[in-house]
Amino acid sequence: MKAKKIIKKIELALDEIRPFLISDGGNIKLVAVEGDTVKVKLEGTCIGCSVNQMTLKNGVETTIKKYVPQIKEVVEIK
């Protein structure tokens, strides 16, 4: 799959999960895709949230993998 298509699918995945983050006062931004790793930046209240790593793995990573199965990991950039 071409890089532009992968990024578009990742953005679609983020659009799916973004309303949940926004409802809690947060947001998420795609920073980069490097190989099979997606780098994101959490924003707003997500930055200091005690469950943000759980949200990142169980919510964001799971949703992105649904759209782009070849992605192995989603990591947060501070």
* Contact indicator for 61, 7 with CB cutoff of 8 Å: no
- Report pTM: 0.90
First to last CA, the chain: 28
pLDDT digits (tens, 9 = 90+) for 26-42: 999 999 999 999 999 99
* Contact indicator for 26, 49 with CB cutoff of 8 Å: yes
pLDDT digits (tens, 9 = 90+) for 52-65: 888 888 899 999 99
Task: Walk me through the domains of the chain, giving residue ranges and CATH numbers.
Answer: 3-76 (3.30.300.130)
Distance, in Å, from the CA atom of 5 to the CA atom of 8, rounded to the nearest integer, reads 5
Residue 78 CB contacts under 8 Å (≥ 6 apart), including other chains: 41
Distance, in Å, from the CA atom of 37 to the CA atom of 17, rounded to the nearest integer, reads 18
